[in-house]
Chain A
């Protein structure tokens, strides 16, 4: 299979993730969408690595996974903290950082 198919799938998943972030208001779902975007990127990296025949992309993909894991840990922690303080679980309501 040529690399294009992989890239099409990757772009599709990325767009689904991005769209999800833009339209959904639940932070949990937004985190899931972020994961989709990251994994779309991973797919593209691995595909390119295979196409070029070297290992750089694989290593990059591993590092992205580590980052994703950390991000999820932090993100879920924040969501738990929001829940504990009985704040609305809705990113549109949580807007105290406005200028």
Chain B
């Protein structure tokens, strides 16, 4: 099959899966829907692999294939087509997305088994994968924006999946609103670029990048607006507050959407738009600084959060900060390499967390966990592999990808060195908070659920409570349904986690400094016009020192976490008491929610109230509606007096009128 056909097939399978599941939701048993959904994504992944092979067959120069299905609107100045761009970058993203999605579908087969929304879940999940693939395969801005918005909608649907849980619906709305802010940024940014190139097609627009750069400021404005889109989708400061709340969704959703795929769309967007960002270095610098700020802020919050899933969520924000910093420092291959390894180990961590949460009967609070090491050996192993990879211990995947980012950022010299150093600080914090989470959940004295599990019985809560607020809720909707599923007892969860663990261990070997160069070489055709792609190369000294420092920081962080939370469990409390101010600041998430509330939400609400009370009531109701209505009413009151209802009065008027008219004509005639 040709590359073009395979490209379309990658999209068609998830779309077909969604439609099929939705249309047969009442006809087929729900078990089958899970299998249909999983099969659709697996076939999509197979098509993506096929596309990869077909792409490799083409010559180095020809690896940017555009395929157009039909023209949506083709007039003077607008060329909206349904087109895909198949090049190494898009195929790489399609592989990561469909590959991780397949595993998460497999995991969900058991994990969501006793949920009443099983069918709905797989329909949504397939729809999400379709949207994400549309986003990464898009060949022009038009399709990109459609995919971008679809992904936001799918995210909203899945965060609010347990729709009778008020915290979940609120989180869904929050995510959707912030994502729409990003959509607006993306659309306006597209406008600034389209204005000058006159073409929505990526490749044509890229050719005009230098042209736009000569028009004072438009390209910078466009790139900054694209960054707004990327920040909202990728949960970067200050548009990040939706991501921790998105953990209200089911755990497979957190693994797929809010760790491995959707939140990396911003990284993809910047990498895709690199010709513009290289022409507008100011915008790229802003992106790099924000990425660096995010990775630090998120890491500090991750240190103090007590919700298991939210720790991983903040870690996701932090890791995406690395990626954004990388692609905005023009280290594209490193950023995308980290995107891939992150997809593996973060999805793995979430899946392991899901297993622990199931064993806790839905409770996510780290304070109530402990000692699961012996009760859940497989989950523990996966968590350790994910944790080692995330904190960057050699030779796990995260070690190579993170250090490559930092080495390349350092190679940019100037003030980028500051960013690189802060990146190392972040990686030190990463090791601490990751292992704090692992030590607290798996070490120490076994808690009640862990002891029950050791004796072969899965713990069930006496009543279902909302993990965020603790209030009692009905068991119809919300985790964990009547039955819980842990990795130790379900082969499909084991399979998915096992494969991801392999990825989290070995995928780093694709790009070992000075040894292998697979990702960099593979992506080269997508970045052939980049000035930095080949030139940006850290010196040998920086590379080796970076690797050594990274490994030492990771091990040091783990050692500190071990001392604090295993050796001397009283110490964290003492430190917390001593640094109460800082601790409170981190626990309140740097007051970002409050800041956004004061700066944006409240003024808007006030403006809304003003509009309702003053503008709507006085101006619209009073002047525009009340004015004409009052005039008509006053006029009619005068005329109405004539209509007395006396028949004889009417007759008299008639007679007088006719007589008067007759007399007039008589007089006029004479």
Chain A residues near B (Cβ < 8 Å): 18, 21-23, 25, 30, 91-92, 94-99
Cβ contact within 8 Å between A97 and B651: no
Does B74 lie at the interface of the complex (its beta carbon under 8 Å from any beta carbon of A)?
no
Smallest CB separation, B400 vs chain A (Å): 90
Smallest CB separation, A84 vs chain B (Å): 20
- B647 CB contacts on chain A under 8 angstroms: 30, 91-92, 94-95
- A96 CB contacts on chain B under 8 angstroms: 645
- 7 shortest A-B CB distances, which residue pairs? A98-B645, A99-B643, A95-B645, A99-B640, A91-B647, A21-B651, A97-B645
- B642 CB contacts on chain A under 8 angstroms: 99
- A97 CB contacts on chain B under 8 angstroms: 643, 645
Interface residue from A25, A98, A99 paired with B648 (Cβ < 8 Å): A25
User: Which residue from chain A places its CB closest to the CB of B655 in the assembled complex?
Assistant: A18
Cβ contact within 8 Å between B646 and A92: yes
Cβ contact within 8 Å between A21 and B648: yes
Known: A18-B655, A22-B655. A92 touches B648 (CB 8 A): yes
- B645 CB contacts on chain A under 8 angstroms: 95-99
Cβ contact within 8 Å between A22 and B643: no
User: Which residue from chain B places its CB closest to the CB of A91 in the assembled complex?
Assistant: B647
Cβ contact within 8 Å between B648 and A91: yes
25 A-B pairs within 8 Å (CB atoms) are namely A18-B655, A21-B648, A22-B648, A22-B651, A22-B652, A22-B655, A23-B648, A25-B648, A30-B647, A91-B646, A92-B646, A92-B647, A92-B648, A94-B647, A95-B644, A95-B645, A95-B646, A95-B647, A97-B643, A98-B644, A98-B645, A99-B640, A99-B642, A99-B644, A99-B645
Alpha-carbon gap, A98 to B644, bound state (A): 5
Within 8 A of A (CB), among B137-169: none
Alpha-carbon gap, A33 to B189, bound state (A): 85
Residue-wise, chain B 632-670 has the 8 Å CB interface mask toward A (1 for contact) of 000000011111111110011001000000000000000
Alpha-carbon gap, A18 to B658, bound state (A): 12
Which of A18, A23, A94, A96 has the most chain B CB atoms closer than 10 A to its own CB?
A: A18
- B641 CB contacts on chain A under 8 angstroms: 99
Alpha-carbon gap, A94 to B648, bound state (A): 11
Smallest CB separation, A2 vs chain B (Å): 20
Alpha-carbon gap, A96 to B645, bound state (A): 6
Smallest CB separation, A43 vs chain B (Å): 18
13 additional contacts (CB under 8 A) given A21-B651, A99-B645: A22-B651, A22-B652, A22-B655, A23-B648, A91-B646, A91-B647, A92-B646, A92-B647, A92-B648, A95-B647, A96-B645, A98-B643, A99-B642
Alpha-carbon gap, A97 to B647, bound state (A): 10
Chain A, interface SS category:
loop
- B655 CB contacts on chain A under 8 angstroms: 18, 22
Alpha-carbon gap, A25 to B649, bound state (A): 11
- A92 CB contacts on chain B under 8 angstroms: 646-648
User: Which residue from chain A places its CB closest to the CB of B659 in the assembled complex?
Assistant: A18
Alpha-carbon gap, A59 to B645, bound state (A): 36
User: Which residue from chain B places its CB closest to the CB of A30 in the assembled complex?
Assistant: B647
Smallest CB separation, A77 vs chain B (Å): 17
- A95 CB contacts on chain B under 8 angstroms: 644-647
- A23 CB contacts on chain B under 8 angstroms: 648
Alpha-carbon gap, A1 to B643, bound state (A): 46
Within 8 A of A (CB), among B253-301: none
- A99 CB contacts on chain B under 8 angstroms: 639-645
- B651 CB contacts on chain A under 8 angstroms: 21-22
User: Which residue from chain A places its CB closest to the CB of B641 in the assembled complex?
Assistant: A99
- A22 CB contacts on chain B under 8 angstroms: 648, 651-652, 655
Alpha-carbon gap, A21 to B643, bound state (A): 18
Smallest CB separation, B637 vs chain A (Å): 9
Smallest CB separation, B662 vs chain A (Å): 12
- B646 CB contacts on chain A under 8 angstroms: 91-92, 95
Alpha-carbon gap, A21 to B658, bound state (A): 15
- B640 CB contacts on chain A under 8 angstroms: 99
User: Which residue from chain B places its CB closest to the CB of A97 in the assembled complex?
Assistant: B645
Which of A25, A92, A95, A99 has the most chain B CB atoms closer than 10 A to its own CB?
A: A99
User: Which residue from chain B places its CB closest to the CB of A23 in the assembled complex?
Assistant: B648
Alpha-carbon gap, A22 to B651, bound state (A): 7
- A21 CB contacts on chain B under 8 angstroms: 648, 651
Smallest CB separation, A6 vs chain B (Å): 19
Residue-wise, chain B 413-434 has the 8 Å CB interface mask toward A (1 for contact) of 0000000000000000000000
- B644 CB contacts on chain A under 8 angstroms: 95, 98-99
- A25 CB contacts on chain B under 8 angstroms: 648
User: Which residue from chain A places its CB closest to the CB of B651 in the assembled complex?
Assistant: A21
Alpha-carbon gap, A39 to B9, bound state (A): 92
- B643 CB contacts on chain A under 8 angstroms: 97-99
- A30 CB contacts on chain B under 8 angstroms: 647
- A91 CB contacts on chain B under 8 angstroms: 646-648
Alpha-carbon gap, A23 to B648, bound state (A): 8
Alpha-carbon gap, A99 to B646, bound state (A): 11
Alpha-carbon gap, A22 to B646, bound state (A): 11
Smallest CB separation, B640 vs chain A (Å): 4
User: Which residue from chain A places its CB closest to the CB of B643 in the assembled complex?
Assistant: A99
User: Which residue from chain B places its CB closest to the CB of A18 in the assembled complex?
Assistant: B655
Within 8 A of A (CB), among B298-320: none
Alpha-carbon gap, A92 to B648, bound state (A): 8
User: Which residue from chain B places its CB closest to the CB of A94 in the assembled complex?
Assistant: B647
Alpha-carbon gap, A92 to B639, bound state (A): 21
Alpha-carbon gap, A22 to B652, bound state (A): 6
Alpha-carbon gap, A18 to B659, bound state (A): 12
User: Which residue from chain B places its CB closest to the CB of A33 in the assembled complex?
Assistant: B651
User: Which residue from chain B places its CB closest to the CB of A96 in the assembled complex?
Assistant: B645
Alpha-carbon gap, A25 to B647, bound state (A): 9
Smallest CB separation, A55 vs chain B (Å): 26
Alpha-carbon gap, A55 to B651, bound state (A): 32
Alpha-carbon gap, A52 to B645, bound state (A): 43
Alpha-carbon gap, A99 to B642, bound state (A): 8
Smallest CB separation, A13 vs chain B (Å): 15
User: Which residue from chain B places its CB closest to the CB of A92 in the assembled complex?
Assistant: B646
